[in-house]
């Protein structure tokens, strides 16, 4: 898993460097610009990572194969898919009320 993620990070870094050096433009003619991301203090990443990891641990499966498991007849994973969708919906609903500066 680290190899896959690591190779994706290296590929993205090389691709972005090439785009910047060549001055590539979008189809509309606007220069492609990647804004610098403002990172928070870490508490939201810790809470989000904990919740994600907790859901992963409780289901015993990586989020993507849940659909394959349901397709192969393990219908109990429908509950995990519905819980993930409900959590995503809840975050979208709460997002305007959350302090995103943390």
Tell me the average confidence (pLDDT) per consecutive run of 10 residues in the chain, 102 residues long. Answer: 87 91 88 79 82 86 85 92 90 84 52
- Same domain? For 26 and 53 the reply is no
Domain that holds residue 53: 38-102
What is the reported pLDDT for 12?
93
For 61-98, the DSSP string reads S-STTHHHHHHTT-TTHHHHHHHHHHHHHHHHHHGGGS
- Same domain? For 50 and 86 the reply is yes
- Same domain? For 9 and 51 the reply is no
- Same domain? For 1 and 49 the reply is no
Q: How many domains does the chain have?
A: 2
What is the reported pLDDT for 50?
92
What is the reported pLDDT for 38?
75
- Same domain? For 17 and 1 the reply is yes
């Amino acid at each position: 898993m680290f190899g896959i993620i690591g190779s994706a990070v290296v590929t993205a870094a090389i691709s972005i460097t090439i785009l910047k050096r060549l001055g590539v433009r979008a189809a509309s003619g606007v220069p492609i610009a990647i804004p610098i991301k403002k990172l928070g203090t870490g508490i939201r990443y810790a809470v989000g990572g904990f919740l994600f990891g907790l859901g992963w641990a409780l289901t015993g499966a990586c989020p993507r194969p849940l659909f394959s498991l349901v397709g192969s007849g393990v219908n109990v994973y429908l509950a995990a898919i519905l819980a993930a969708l409900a959590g995503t919906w809840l975050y979208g609903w709460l997002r305007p009320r959350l302090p995103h500066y943390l």
